[in-house]
Structure 1
Amino acid sequence: MDTDTPSRVPGDRLRPTSRREQAEATRALLLRTAERLFAEFGLAQVSNRQIVEAAGQANNSALTYHVGTRADLLDAIARAHAEPIARRTREMVEAARGSTRPRDHVASLVLPYTEHLAALGNPSWFARFTAQTSTDPAYSAGPRSELMLGPHHQEGLAAVWEHAPDLPPREAALRGRTMRLAVIHTCAEQERAAADSGTPADWALVGGALTDAVTGLLLAPRHPR
């Protein structure tokens, strides 16, 4: 029997039967399960054993075997989402090049994220996962996520800061972190409300409101201390 040939199951769907396909399916299941548990309970409250059990795996070492270390697991979840966000960011950053409107540059960084959340459907867990990793003392996803998003994300950030008032470095860093957390935690709150109610979030509304708010925060004048 050729074990590399998918077998038919009811509904004419294909079931992976090769070892490679089975391993990929198991890995994907573990990542989805971990993302959901981390989003709902936090990183520190979820053990590898809980992830394995929730994914219906009998082998307690399945997570280590299919994914790797704890850091590997978090990076793998973030990377799976970063790739489509990066593609959309590239499109919007390129479209905004040369614009003299600060909002255009802010939109090129905010909207790819909210559009991706809209594409995930309801319920989803990535916004809450991002909120958990952004504040967990044992893991900071921010710098890693920005690197995963690639050079166009950095280009968009540079274009945004060109429109900001002249700020001392510490104040600029604080304002930047405030803008980032506003996006992350607003989206996490909207995602949680959507999951609880069963009504999908209006991500177009959220994206537009966040773009306006972040632009206002960016352009706010600095009052002398």
Structure 2
Amino acid sequence: MIITCPACATRYTLADSAVGPQGRKVRCAQCGHMWWQAPEDDPVLHPDEVTEFHPVPPPSSKTPSSKTPSSRKTAPATSAADPGARRRALVGWGAFLAVLAAIIAAGYVGRATVVRLWPPAALFYETVGLPVEPPGSGLQLQNVRSEQKTEEGKSALLVEGQILNVSETARTVPALRVTALGADRQPLRNWTVEPVPTQILPGEIATFRDVQPDAAGVLEVMITFDGRR
């Protein structure tokens, strides 16, 4: 059955059993008006019981003048912030900032290694005012020679030379990378050599000497500052 509030004309769709065979007093959920609702075609006396109905009428029962309780919007209740959640959020942010600071510090202190592993990073460091010197900056190779010799009946390759500090400050001498070249200057193998000493003042010289077994096929050697130690 369909009932209508006499005061605001809000309509409700109800099952007959909701009113009951005796009828009952009902309250409009929209405007609060109360009236006696009897079952269809069966008026009865009014008992004291008051029933408030809050049904949602189907779309087909809506009229331009009707308003349903479901159309009213309610704001969600806000609860106080959970202190534990806030504490966990602060700890998380603190850990993130600590990791970020460690990454930045490592990038600053080890920028030479970063540039060696990824050369394009040199442009970034130069842009932010932290230029990175290439390995061997301020140092000069001199008196470098290589030769094949026989040791214990086997062919060996001797590589030796000097490193001069041509700058005006003390310099750390990086390791050297030696590349053996064969026919058509094709690389055969490479290895590192440690100069001595590893720190030299302006004008001082560090030396290096290395003997590699099995020099077969080696026609030339190439020596560069490796930058690793």
Q: TM-score range by the shorter chain?
A: under 0.3
The alignment's TM-score, normalised by the length of structure 1, stands at 0.23
Instruction: Look at both structures and tell me which one has the larger radius of gyration over its CA atoms.
Output: 2
Could you state the TM-score of these two structures normalised by the residue count of structure 2? 0.22
Q: Write 1 or 2 for the structure with the bigger share of helix.
A: 1
Which structure has more relative contact order (CA 8 Å, sep 6+)? It is 1
